[in-house]
Structure formats: C-alpha cells, structure tokens
Amino acid sequence: MTGNEHGGRLGEEFFTPGSSSFTEFLAAHRPELLSTRRVLPDGVRAAPHQVPHGTTVLALSFRDGVLIAGDRRATMGNLIAQRDLEKVHPADDHTAVAFAGTVGLALDMVKLYQVELAHFEKIEGVGMTLDGKARRLAGMIRQNLGQAMQGLAVVPLLVGYDPAGTEGERGRIFSFDIAGGLYEKAGFHAEGSGSPYAGGALKKLFRKGLDRREAALTALQALYDAADDDSATGGPDINRQIFPIVSVITGDGFERLPETETAALCREMVEQRRARPDGPNATP
C-alpha cells in the first residue's frame, strides 16, 4: 500500500470515497493483509502445543477511572513459550485493550485496532465514542470466527474512560466472546485460562471507591491467585525482575504504571503472602 506499485504515486483506491473504517478499506483493496480473515485449509485444526497462547488478563474500575492488567506468560501446551509477553496495550488516549488467546493473531488485531481508531478520527474529524469503539472491536473479532473455530481464538478485554459517566463510575469494561458477542461488565472482569481464579479474587476484594494504589494491589492479588492455581498464568518473577503489566485510564488519559512502582507493589504483596498464603480477606 506504499504506492511503489504505481510508480511512486498513490493508487486510485486512496481517492475513492468509502467508509471511515480502515479494516473495510483493507478488505476491499488488500484483503490478504488482514490476518484475521485467513482460514486454515478444510479439516486442519491448530495444535494448542504448537501455537503460543496468552493467558490471564483482568480489569476493574476505581475511583478515578479504570485499571487493566495482565500476567506476562505465554504457553504452548505444557511449555512456557515466553515469560515477558505484553498483553496490555493502549488503543488510543482513553482506551486500552488486553488479550488472551493466540498471541500472533492477537498482536495483529491490537495493531489493526489502533490504526482503525486513528483512521476514523482522521476521516471524521472527531474521535469514536466508547460504545462505538466496543462495537468496532466486536466486528473485528467476528471476522476471526473461522480461525477461532479452528483453534486460533483471540479474546480481548476492552476498557475506557467515559467522561459522560457519573462521578466515580467513568471507567467502563467490555468483554467479548469468540463470535464477537459484546458484553459490558460492572466493576470488574477477567479473561483467559486463569480467569476463574482471578475473578474469584476480584469478587472477594473489589469494592467501589478504590484509589489507584488499592486498585493496583487488588489486580496483583487476583493475578497471584490465578498463577497459584493455573499453570499457564505467570506470577511475579522476582529473580528475573518480570512483573505483571498494570495500566490505568483516567481523565488524564492512558498511563502504564512504572516498572519500579509495580515491582514495589509485587514485593509488598509477596511479603504479605508469607504470613497469609491464601491472600487477604474480603473487606467488610
């Protein structure tokens, strides 16, 4: 799409009126660039032990917005494929996406989604609404349904800051199924192989009005519980200095917590677990 095939000039597709969707533009003119539409041959199914998969991600709302976090492990069957995978990414200034599932497809989908939002704003002159962003991501997941049915599923988690929301409830969380079903979650949600354990911890520890530090510790406790019971989820690796990624979105925009802050919170949590291995009690 660089224009080299037209002697350095842009092709006529760039001057043909169309929608504000970059995905639809690619589908019409260069569909081979859309990795989410490549289906394996009939009868072929991806083997789980041959494709890296990301595991546990979660989100929770807090007083100033919404927090999203993920562990760092990717697995191929019973093997650890990567110890420092980044599963949490900004989509734009006030939206972030994390993923569980097939790593290669998920990273492509995240990059395409980032371009999709930027393209829409350039064409329309205004940013997409948060509900519109959620529906657009649902449509992209739906395009991957063929590969998902062959074992290459991607399950994103979307969060955003909605200035139109009421005070203290402007952080919103959206989950999806492999067919592109869209569901808004209240308070908190977890996805991936460790999600039953992370979700259980969040159900116990979450409360409205958490400040940023409390929300980050709650997320780390939930990921620790997931790693404790799910071998595909990685806990904080103190020796290698590999810690979960924790990011927040507030009225000031997207911010990834500095590595030093996350490391300090992880060490505090691990020290607490020495006295209470099962984690803290629910707050009354």
Just list the catalytic residues.
Answer: 55
Tokens (6 digits) for 205:
């520890």
If residue 217 lies in a helix (H) or strand (E), which one and from where to where? Answer: helix 212-229
Q: What's the DSSP call for residue 36?
A: G
The total of other beta-carbon atoms located within 10 Å of residue 169's CB is 15
In whole angstroms, give the CA distance from residue 100 to residue 72.
11
